[in-house]
Amino acid sequence: MNKDTLRILLPVISLAALLAAVCYLQPRSMSYFGLNLLFNLAVPVALATIAQMMIIMVNDIDLSIGAFVSFCACVTATLVQDTPLLGYAVLFAAICGYAAIGAIIQARNLPAIVVTLGMSFVWGGLAVLILPSPGGSSPEWIRFLMKSKPPLIPMAIIAPILIAFLTHMLIKRSSFGVLLRGVGGNDRAMARSGWSLIQLKASAYALAGLFGVLSGMALVGLATSADANIALRYTLLSVAGVILGGGEFTGGRVSPIGAVIGALTLTLAASFLSFLRLSSDWQIGSQGAILILVLAVRLFFTRKERMS
């Protein structure tokens, strides 16, 4: 079994095993309504995970994605709802800001983990300025899109499938995706080939900002309101989703489909335990246990392959 197959197979098995456990304990959860309830927050989590994947793909890590998604949610619930032109302009400026951060990190050779940690306070402060207390409302079109009920399969499952397909085509099947993965794989070779590392890293960060904005908008569509702290947990969830989905912190080795499956697995674990009215501490613990177990299995097969 090669590494690429293992990278995508393990998250699929982990999701299937968790679904089987859910079906065994609560057979009714396999209904249309049950699946929609279990994967209710899968879309914003999947989008935030893809945003984190864009950063990890270029050998960085983003500790501000949770605060950024919260900021975008606050902008969506207030400015986009009340003054759409200004609201969309602010969100576009936020994406440009993300691109600028990536360019500065590359140009000045700064540690991304430190820069993004600092930016998390900036985004959090801006979110509080825009929305000091929980409130606001979701724009009608976002609420309609996120709460629509297509036949047979819930939107909570259809949307992640579309996200996985589109990002897979972008990252794995396009020349632009090859260039971005090349930055993480061998940035010196890319520079010697004449490519601008500053532009490529800025592009990766801009994509992360775009998916972060979409995550915030989707979250508001589901919650119908916003809060400056609404998505702070997404920072760790997004990292866990990327790694659970077969990504690695170095080498530009990521899997868009695997990342979305990882996000679905973590969402299912949290939703199911919440459905059983268990403490949120158990939810966090279960997500960590699933991640550790999958990583242990991946390490076992990787070492076995090297020995053979």
The pLDDT tens digits of the residues spanning 145-182 come to 998 989 888 999 999 999 999 999 999 999 999 999 99
List beta partners, residue 135. Answer: 226
Are 219 and 48 spatial neighbours (Cβ–Cβ below 8 Å)? no
Q: Which residue has the tokens 């866990």?
A: 240
pLDDT of residue 51: 97
User: Look-up: residue for tokens 């989707």?
Assistant: 218
- The hierarchical CATH code for the domain 3-13+31-307 is 1.10.3470
pLDDT score of 31: 86
Mean pLDDT of the chain: 89
Looking at residues 46-70, what average pLDDT do you find?
96
**Percentage of the chain modeled with pLDDT above 70:** 89
pLDDT of the residue at 6: 65
Q: Does residue 24 carry a pLDDT above 70? A: yes
Across the range 236-245, mean pLDDT stands at: 90
SS3 231: coil
pLDDT in the model for residue 197? 95
| Alpha helices by DSSP H, the chain | 3-25, 32-38, 42-56, 65-75, 81-82, 84-107, 112-130, 140-146, 155-172, 175-185, 187-192, 197-223, 234-244, 256-275, 280-307
Provide the 10 A C-beta neighbour count for residue 155: 18
pLDDT of res. 99: 97
Long-range contacts of 198-203 (CB under 8 A, 24+ apart): 198/103, 198/106, 198/107, 199/103, 200/58, 201/58, 201/60, 201/102, 201/103, 201/105, 201/106, 202/99, 202/100, 202/102, 202/103, 202/106, 203/99, 203/102, 203/176
Q: What is the pLDDT of residue 96?
A: 97
Q: Where are the domains of the chain?
A: 3-13+31-307
pTM: 0.92
Cα 285 to Cα 269: distance, rounded to the nearest angstrom = 10
**Statement: residue 275 has pLDDT above 80:** no
The confidence score (pLDDT) of residue 138 equals: 94
Q: How confident is the model at residue 20 (pLDDT cuts 50, 70, 90)?
A: confident
Cα separation, 70 vs 269, whole angstroms: 22
Q: What are phi and psi for residue 226, nearest 5 degrees? A: -140, 170
